[in-house]
Amino acid sequence: MTEAQRYTASEILAILSARQLQDGQVVFAGIGVPLLAATLAQRTRCPALTILFEGGVVGAFVEPGKLPPSTNDQRCTKRANMVLGSADVLLLLQRGYVDVGFMGGAQIDQFGNLNSSFIGDPAKPKTRLPGTGGGNDISSLTNMIVAMKHEKRRFVEKVDFITSPGFIRGGTSRRDSGLPSGRMWRVITELAVFGFDDRTRRIKVLALNPGVSREEVQDNTGFRLDFDEKLHVTSPPTDHELETLRMLDPDRLFTA
Amino acid sequence: MAQRDRSLREKVVSLEEAAGFVQDGMKVGVGGSTMSRTPMAMLWELIRQHRKDLSISRCIVSTDGDLVFGSGLANHVVTSWFAQGILWGLSKVMRHHVENGGKRYEEWSHMAVGMRFRAGGMGVPFLPTRAMLGSDIVGQRPEAKQIDCPFTGEKLLLVPALNPDVALIHVQRCDPYGNAQIDGLQFMDIDLALAANSVILTTERIVSNDQIRRAPDQTKIPFFCVDAVVEVPYGSAPHECYGLYEPMMRHMEAYVAQVNADPVKGMQEYLDRYFYSPKSWNEYLSLIGMDEVLEATQKGRSIYND
């Protein structure tokens, strides 16, 4: 079995995302891979990770095999420390109690802006997408990790609509828009790990996933990519990471 | 604030009678979130009574949004997220009505919806937030005003109070006066109840005022906000009600397959079968099926199991 066949795209997304979290952090997690990755981190390297969900949960500890179908379902509360109202848990972001926000993305651009609202002209959209939920709040108010599938149509030079701001137009435009805290920090895909240039705020490749070439990442991206001077190759998922992940999601709800 | 009878009095009525509080064209706030504590029985009754042109607000909308658009109950939905549920992705029903059907999905951030209900409940015309600044959502919402803070000079966004004419809220228990206890996730229901000019409570069970007084810390909505109390066991079905039942997933799967295959005809057939044909809410539950209801109950109760 080759290295790439040992895991699915969603599994490597979850594992590499989990590695970005530090013990003791407070992480605001969206549904799907983010919830799974935060839970994986909690069960491996970060036992003191505090997980928040937008339904109002503070300090979640979700049960293996009983992953919730959304972050507003009762399963999110199992063995949590506290349950707040939804507005109150989101206000914790605005006050600065959250270290990392963590969500998926439908479409992203070179400055890390996310679109989950419209494909095409918002006045006459080709496709009306579900919209922001808490995504705008999370990305506006804290440091973001985005985990998403890597496709050309998802990695575009400029999103049709900024639902959740990253660095907006680059440079100081995020701060100038009235968002003094937080930033787009990492983007994780099944091909690579991305960061952002400190000055231009443009996305760049920090590390290639195991077995992935520079060309493969560029070919699946809708704009010209920069590669970090210290570009490295991520170490592959360990057996322990894969086993823990599969124990958490035995029905492959989020990792198929 | 509308004139209301705020006395301690019994308000127990039937679903049919409670629907009388809602008139065509009203602004209606809907409690719960996504697939949780949705006041489905009340929406079911309003759809059966052919109310129309409502403007519905809810923090996050799932299949309830499909149903209110598909039935004509609402032509405007104010929310932050509108799909059938994470597991199913985009709603073809929502897409059909918004892209071609002339209905409006008005998008705010989740926190902004919360601040709008909170301002409404606080009796002030707006609240400031930092969310939505810098995004294109703010450009779509001329109702929100950007200002420079008079104290610090920082950019802030003012979101206007949202005071629905009526709120529909489903709870685990309340007394006949409307003192309502909510277990688990509250979502935005307390602010919504305070913000609305009238409140229809549906409840899994009605308990005595003595029982409420034994745990007053669990009472989340005071009786003087409430105008009608309706006892409807499984009143959120096929969505969940915390501690009692989880979503009825086989029914939801079948629903999604049917309406996405044909957002107009599939929806009409679904409404005919589950909304217009049954003579009562109990008959609707029978159509969903005993196995489904009991399995959801077993899972719902397990939240309290170690």
Q: What is the pLDDT of residue B1?
A: 63
Find all residues with CB under 8 Å of B87, minimum gap 6, and list them. A69, A253
Average pLDDT over residues B287-293: 98
**Per-residue pLDDT reduced to its tens digit, A216-225:** 999 999 999 9
Q: What is the pLDDT of residue A2?
A: 64
Query: CB–CB of B247 and A69 under 8 A?
Result: yes
Query: CB–CB of A94 and B131 under 8 A?
Result: yes
| Among chain B residues, CA nearest to A135 | B109
Rounded to 10 degrees, what is the CA torsion of A256, B296, A55, A132? 50
Q: Which among B29, B3, B2, B8 is positioned nearest to B229, based on CA atoms?
A: B8
| Among chain B residues, CA nearest to A172 | B134
Residues of B in contact with A131 (CB under 8 A): 79-82, 105, 107
Alpha-carbon gap: B71 to the closest alpha carbon of chain A (Å) = 20
Q: What is the pLDDT of residue B291?
A: 98
Find all residues with CB under 8 Å of B266, minimum gap 6, and list them. B258, B259, B260
- Confirm whether A54 is a catalytic residue: yes
Q: What is the pLDDT of residue A4?
A: 60
Give me the percent of chain A exceeding a pLDDT of 70.
Answer: 98
Average pLDDT over residues B36-53: 98
Average pLDDT over residues B255-274: 98
Per-residue exposure over B243-277, b if at least 16 CB sit within 10 Å of its own CB, e if not? bbbbbbbebbeebbebbbeebeebbeebbeebbee
Chain-wide mean pLDDT for chain A? Answer: 95
Q: Does A177 touch chain B (CB under 8 A)?
A: yes
Question: What does chain A look like in DSSP terms, one character per residue?
Answer: --GGGGS-HHHHHHHHHHTT--TT-EEEE-TTHHHHHHHHHHHTT-TT-EEEETTTEES--PPTT---SSTTSGGGGTT-SEE--HHHHHHHHHHT--SEEEEE-SEE-TT--EE-SEES-TTS-SEE----TTHHHHHHHSEEEEE----TTTB-SS-SS-SB-SSTTSTTHHHHTT--S-EEEEEE-SSEEEEE-TTT--EEEEEEPTT--HHHHHHTSSSPPEEEEEEEEPPPPPHHHHHHHHHH-TT-TTT-
Average pLDDT over residues A102-115: 96
Query: CB–CB of A132 and B80 under 8 A?
Result: yes
Residue A1: pLDDT over 90: no
Alpha-carbon gap: A112 to the closest alpha carbon of chain B (Å) = 12
Q: Does A101 touch chain B (CB under 8 A)?
A: no
Q: Kindly indicate the confidence band of residue B62, based on its pLDDT and cuts at 50, 70 and 90.
A: very high
Give me the percent of chain B exceeding a pLDDT of 90.
Answer: 95
**Per-residue pLDDT reduced to its tens digit, B11-35:** 999 999 999 999 999 999 999 999 9
Residue B10: pLDDT over 80: yes
Residue A256: pLDDT over 90: no
Average pLDDT over residues A49-73: 95
Average pLDDT over residues B238-265: 98
Residues of B in contact with A34 (CB under 8 A): none
The rounded distance, in Å, linking the Cα atoms of B280 and A47 is: 50
Residues of B in contact with A98 (CB under 8 A): none
| Segment holding B205, helix H or strand E | strand B199-206
**Per-residue pLDDT reduced to its tens digit, A115-128:** 999 999 998 889 99
Q: What is the pLDDT of residue B3?
A: 75
Cα within 13 Å of Cα(A129), Cβ side: 19
The rounded distance, in Å, linking the Cα atoms of A97 and B114 is: 19
Q: Which residue has the tokens 């109070």?
A: B161
Q: What is the pLDDT of residue B89?
A: 84
Query: CB–CB of A136 and B137 under 8 A?
Result: yes
ipTM of the complex: 0.96
Q: Of residues A54, A63, A151, A216, which has the active-site annotation?
A: A54
**Per-residue pLDDT reduced to its tens digit, B293-302:** 999 999 999 9
Q: Does A32 touch chain B (CB under 8 A)?
A: yes
Global confidence as pTM:
0.97
